[in-house]
Amino acid sequence: MSANALYTDLSGYYDLMCVDIDYRAQSHCIHRLQQIFGNGGKAHLDLACGTGPHVRHFIDAGYNSSGLDINQPMLDRAAIRCPEARFALQDMCAFTVGEPLDLVTCFLYSIHYSAGIGRLKECVVSVHNALKSNGVFCFNTVDKNQINSELFVTHTAKQDDSQFVFSSGWNYCGAGEQQSLRLSIEKTTAGETQVWHDEHPMVALSFEELQEILRPYFEVHVFEHDYEKIIPWNQTSGNAIFVCVKI
């Protein structure tokens, strides 16, 4: 199974897998940060947009919102959810836009799908090139030095006559620029259980390393990973929201 096979083949289950995510709170928080740090514009692009739940909330908040992703099945579902938005099949590490943007977002730790430091730098340059002056780039991220590879998050959900168990967790060996996201899905229907396992390669770096990559292009602000409150990062927690204002 290829690195993104589960993500593509199970696109029909993606929203179910993320059913416990508060997309409204996440989108509203970034909207507030855009109001504080941004240029007041409403041209928005969501990187790795998936099925478009964040795009939906930004449109409802008055943004001219669009999305890109590398998987067409996800974009097909996003277009149904947000028929007024524009969606593009593009790589977030090497994308272009027709018109300059005011806000670029990347939710759900998807910035790590850059897979390596070199590719992450290409993503940062692509975002910088796409933004207007004082445009904002917002994303959430995990510090490789704070990863507990034994920790998994699990939740259950029902769809039609099936019961699902979704599990995910970070894995980092302690050295190098590669970490992975481990995923498993159990589907039980009429007493029969199917199990999928997948492991997605992702870029690993510390917050200090990430800030060094961003500083030539952005004024960087780091906040606690709390979408209900805007709190400066406490310098110790391993998850954070980065707000980057184009220089």
Q: Each residue of 133-182: pLDDT tens digit?
A: 999 999 999 999 999 999 999 999 998 899 999 999 999 999 999 999 99
- State the pLDDT at residue 11: 67
The boundaries of every CATH 3.40.50.150 domain in the chain are 14-143+204-246
Q: Tokens at residue 190, please?
A: 């009429």
- With 90 as the cut, is the pLDDT of residue 2 above it? no
Residue identified by tokens 């272009």 is 96
- State the pLDDT at residue 10: 57
- State the pLDDT at residue 182: 95
- With 70 as the cut, is the pLDDT of residue 74 above it? yes
**CATH says 145-201 is which class?**
mainly beta
The model's pTM is 0.93
Mean pLDDT, the chain, rounded, equals 94
The boundaries of every CATH 2.20.130 domain in the chain are 145-201
> 69 φ, ψ to 5°?
-160, 165
Q: Each residue of 102-129: pLDDT tens digit?
A: 999 999 999 999 989 999 999 999 999 9
- State the pLDDT at residue 1: 38
Kindly state the percentage of the chain with pLDDT values over 70.
Answer: 95
Q: Report long-range pairs for 215-218 (Cβ below 8 Å, ≥24 apart).
A: 217/124, 217/125, 217/128, 217/244, 217/246, 217/247, 218/124, 218/128, 218/137, 218/244, 218/245, 218/246, 218/247
Neighbour count for residue 2 (Cβ, 10 Å): 10
- State the pLDDT at residue 38: 97
What pLDDT band is residue 4 in, cutting at 50, 70 and 90? very low
From CA 138, how far away is CA 29, in angstroms rounded? 10
Kindly state the percentage of the chain with pLDDT values over 90.
Answer: 89
Q: Tokens at residue 160, please?
A: 């039609």
- State the pLDDT at residue 9: 54
Q: Tokens at residue 36, please?
A: 């504080």
Q: Each residue of 8-51: pLDDT tens digit?
A: 455 677 778 888 899 999 999 999 999 999 999 999 999 999 99
- With 50 as the cut, is the pLDDT of residue 80 above it? yes
From CA 221, how far away is CA 228, in angstroms rounded? 17
- Residue pair 200/183 in contact by the 8 Å Cβ criterion: yes
- Cα-Cα-Cα-Cα dihedral sign, residues 32, 64, 24, 166: negative
Q: What is the CATH number of domain 14-143+204-246?
A: 3.40.50.150
Residues 6+ apart with CB under 8 A from 212: none
